[in-house]
Amino acid sequence: MSTATTAALLTADEFLRLHGGETCVELVRGHVVRCSVRGATHGYVCNNATAMLHHFAREHGLGQVFSNDTFTRTRLKETADSVRGPDVAFVSYARMPKGPIPDGPLPCAPDLVVEVRSPSDRIPHLSAKASEYLDAGVTVVLVLDPETESLAVFRENEFPVRMHNGDELALPDVFPGFAVAVKAFFE
């Protein structure tokens, strides 16, 4: 379960100055939010997603894969600043050209974000978070649920697609040619 820890609204720059070196903390509409400890299953599924995506991206020269709550700004013009830390993020070379990886938050919206559901996460909260990523320019958001061994695929202006253990995931808009059994994320 997440808990807000400050009452005063912070900007993204203030948040990064104060909390940039911390883990499991985000800025949500100007408020610092800390998450609970996630556990071994969460880490295992995150690692599986990172490994599969990293291997494919590197093999096909597509871009960079980031993990461990790499900060990305999701600020919307009509709301206070937000800085999220997706479990896994992919940024194509089209969005962030090859070269040194900048220090600090990602300089652009990722093409793909993966969030892994923790036992304390509520589905409406994760759906809202996926929408926030899409509004910030992310092309595809995957929400993996270890408890049900299923995932939801979010794209802008589309209803989420739920996939189960026996289904195959393809991501032609961000990973052309990529296909993996949904169960591979959880094995």
Residues 120-161: pLDDT tens digits?
A: 889 998 999 999 999 999 999 999 999 999 999 999 999 999
Residue 67 lies in a domain: yes
Residue 13 lies in a domain: no
Closest alpha carbon to 184 in 172, 157, 162, 166 = 166
Return the CATH number at 143.
3.90.1570.10
Residue 33 lies in a domain: no
Structural domain boundaries, residue 102: 38-185
Residues 90-130: pLDDT tens digits?
A: 999 999 999 999 888 899 999 999 999 988 889 998 999 99
* Pairwise pLDDT comparison (34 vs 96), residue with the higher score: 96
Cα–Cα distance, 29 to 77 (Å, whole number): 11
Residue 164 lies in a domain: yes
DSSP class of residue 131? H
**Residues whose CB falls within 8 Å of the CB of residue 93, separated by 6 or more in sequence, listed in order:** 61, 62, 63, 64
pLDDT at 104: 84
- Which whole number is the average pLDDT over 68-92? 81
Residue 66 lies in a domain: yes
Closest alpha carbon to 57 in 13, 30, 91 = 91
Residue 26 lies in a domain: no
Residue 25 lies in a domain: no
Residue 78 lies in a domain: yes
Number of domain units in the chain: 1
